[in-house]
């Protein structure tokens, strides 16, 4: 679910017999519940606003920051294929991986 540039992951909560949303990419946790899409959107908006208000009050940046680095373990054969493909295109493995990841999004 998306709202005002924010994304949330929605899952069914059997204990509550409702759906639980978790707002992604925040510098902390913010979740919400609803029994249907309309309720979820309303609660998403409320939960996000409360989170943003608390961050503003405390002087905290609400967005999680990422370094741009992560380790990826792949099978040696795939590594070899990636290296050969990158060489044939005249780019680094990193550049080729970025292009592939970007196209997947």
Pair 48, 76 in one domain: no
Residues in the chain: 105
Domain span at residue 53 reads 2-58
Domain count, the chain: 2
Q: Residue 19: which CATH number?
A: 3.30.160
pLDDT of residue 10: 97
pLDDT of residue 31: 95
Per-residue pLDDT 10s for the chain (105 aa) are 999 999 999 999 999 999 999 999 999 999 999 999 999 999 999 999 999 999 999 999 999 999 999 999 999 999 999 999 999 999 999 999 999 999 999
pLDDT of residue 14: 94
Integer Cα distance of 78 and 81 in angstroms: 5
User: pTM of the full predicted structure?
Assistant: 0.74
Pair 34, 10 in one domain: yes
| CA angle (105, 37, 10) in 5-degree steps | 45
CA 73 vs. chain centroid, Å, equals: 20
């Amino acid at each position: 679910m998306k709202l005002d540039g924010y994304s949330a992951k929605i899952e069914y909560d059997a204990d509550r017999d409702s759906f639980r949303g978790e707002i992604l990419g925040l510098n902390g946790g913010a979740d919400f519940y609803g029994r249907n899409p309309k309720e979820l959107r309303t609660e998403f908006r409320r939960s996000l606003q409360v989170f943003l208000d608390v961050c503003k009050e405390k002087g905290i940046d609400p967005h999680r920051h990422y370094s741009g680095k992560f380790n990826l373990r792949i099978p040696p054969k795939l590594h070899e294929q990636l290296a050969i493909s990158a060489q044939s295109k005249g780019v680094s493995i990193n550049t080729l991986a970025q292009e592939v990841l970007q196209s997947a999004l």
